[in-house]
Amino acid sequence: MIKLFRKSGMKVILLTLDCLLIYVSYVLAYELRYSLSVPFMKWDSFFVYAPWLGLFTILTYYCFNLYDFAGRRKPSQFLFNLIIAQLFVATGLIVLNYWMKSFILPRRILLIAIISQLFLSFSLRLVLFYIQSKVCSTKKALVILNDRNADADILQRIFYKGTPWFRIGKIVTLWNEPGNLPPANMWEDRDLKVLLLGQGISPWVKSELIRLAGARNMEVVLIPEFYELYLRDAEPQQIDDLLVYSIMPPQLNLLERCLKRLSDLVMASLLLVITSPIMIFMFIVIPMTSKGKSLYVQERVGLHEKPFHLFKFRSMVDNAEAGTGPVLAGEQDARITRLGQFIRATRIDELPQLFNVLLGDMSMVGPRPERGYFVEQFKEELPHYTYRLMVKPGLTGYAQVMANYSTIPCDKLRYDLMYIKRYSFLLDLKILFQTIRVVLQREQSKGINRDSGSVVALQFNESLGGIRIPSEGGYQLPHH
């Protein structure tokens, strides 16, 4: 069923149903507003903006990820995105109404239509979620881990965030014999429907596990190795009768770079005009609330590892790293000022980077720029890290809208490399809209939790393959 929702045909059907619901909502709003007796003049005005209404709403829905049913997402995520999308559509229609003067859109009509559309669109997605969850159901999963420390965090995420999709049925660890297959008796449970593979499993073992799972009609969910990300868009070629894959380094071609630069100049200029009152206010209020300058300038690493000066509004105390050296911001970091907590949560501190975009050091969308100190560390730990330096860093990025500030570097790198491989103007537009959602949710801007770190303190039991099992048979993770 998950595969069914990936098909473009299903998205077209959903898009068509959304169009129908959009116009049903507005017809309903007119009928309710005028007590089932709508004047012809009002219908004439509606027909003027009706085509643009559907196009604008569907494009907004797309940008807010409302046609992505391939992932295992909960209804609350769709509801939040729908609310933001509807507010954006309403704001756009109000602006167009005052600017164009070519149609009349009464505020009461807009209010009734937006509420109706929100209810109908969410109901449609609830129905789809119900079908998806019933057909897929909660699948019993066989989890195979390779590394005790690295996979502990993955296991916690599956345990806490995987419902209603997964239920951990059996856990097998490979750290004693990493090059060999796990025991054959692990397949005895016929209720196992999903194979979840941790990271770092050798290619031969992974290939054989996937084959064995396929023979048992099991779904395989795995964390891709970095080289596997490149295979996604690899070009099939033929040398005589030999089938080969051609893999190019992840980078943008000349046309893509030119179009991206043009869109950067337009969007950055527009946003500078819109946000200038906020920026002027920040220049005044930051020095008034804490000692030091309002603007913070820091050297970061950009395209092809070339350093540049990044501009930010200061959110920490002056000379915050004088005694600590380069340190990533943590959750409840004492160095962050009271005003700094607000501007970091709302991303206002990033607004001066619009000047970096105009100067050509950054793009609107791309991997976030890091300091040279951390880049050197990441390059040692992650050999593929240099690939993300083959494009300009961005004001926002794929990793920023799909992951969290506290997400570990290797997981962020997967998103950054996926972005470079899948680059398109529409993807950039989608990420910019998703950034609005991230700013409003605020959860994703929290700093690193230094108490727990990236490794979860799981209570391992060697005889049970890694997890302590209570009497009722479920797996138990410790409370934090």
β-pairing verdict for 242-246 and 192-197: unpaired
pLDDT at residue number 338: 86
d(Cα 345, Cα 329) in Å, to the nearest integer? 13
pLDDT at residue number 326: 64
Q: 279, 445 in Cβ contact below 8 A?
A: no
pLDDT profile of the chain (480 residues), mean per 10: 54 86 89 78 75 86 81 75 90 76 74 91 86 71 74 69 73 68 77 82 85 86 81 81 82 88 95 94 91 90 94 84 63 77 87 95 94 88 87 92 79 88 89 87 55 40 36 35
C-alpha of 270 from chain center: 24
d(Cα 399, Cα 417) in Å, to the nearest integer? 9
d(Cα 324, Cα 321) in Å, to the nearest integer? 5
pTM above 0.85, yes or no: no
H-helix or E-strand spanning residue 411: helix 409-421
Side-chain-side CA neighbours of 323 within 13 Å: the count stands at 3
Degrees (nearest 5) of the Cα angle 366, 372, 375? 65
Q: 192, 169 in Cβ contact below 8 A?
A: yes
Q: 444, 403 in Cβ contact below 8 A?
A: yes
164 upstream amide cis, omega within 30 of 0: yes
pLDDT at residue number 322: 62
pLDDT at residue number 260: 94
What residues does CATH 3.40.50.10700 cover in the chain? 137-223+458-464
Tokens of 191: 């209720």
d(Cα 461, Cα 344) in Å, to the nearest integer? 41
CATH class of 137-223+458-464: alpha beta
